[in-house]
Amino acid sequence: MYTLIMKSQEQLRMLILAVLERQPEHGYAIAQAIKARSEGLLTAKEGTLYPVLHSLEAEAHIQSHEHEVGGRVRREYRLTEKGQKEVSRLRGDWKLQISAVSAVLGGER
């Protein structure tokens, strides 16, 4: 199956925030949500998912806390108000980019 490895940190940030916009999740679930929502087309190497999560947390776009799931400790990430604004901004920027690139590429006649 053809997959696109996420190379841009900015794109990965946007996708993480978009996933957390729906509900708080832990790292594994975030990675799975990105794959599932893109129908397997987008995938992030999960070793580099966490550095982005930690940066987002340091910037107060998300916050995390530990909780127990089935006897195992998991760290759950949750979007903050600042993160909500950031995801809206990134979504707007992304739509503008798509629209601009599409205009240059042109469509099928």
| Residues near another protein (CB under 8 A) | 26-29, 31, 45-48, 50-51, 54-55, 58, 72-75
Query: Which CA distances in Å does 75 have to 41, 47, 63, 67?
Result: 26, 16, 10, 6
Longest dimension (CA), the chain: 58
Cβ proximity to another protein, 72 vs 109, nearer residue? 72
Say if CB 77 and CB 31 are below 8 A apart.
Answer: no
Smallest separation (angstroms) from another protein to the CB of 9: 9
Smallest separation (angstroms) from another protein to the CB of 50: 6
Cβ proximity to another protein, 75 vs 89, nearer residue? 75
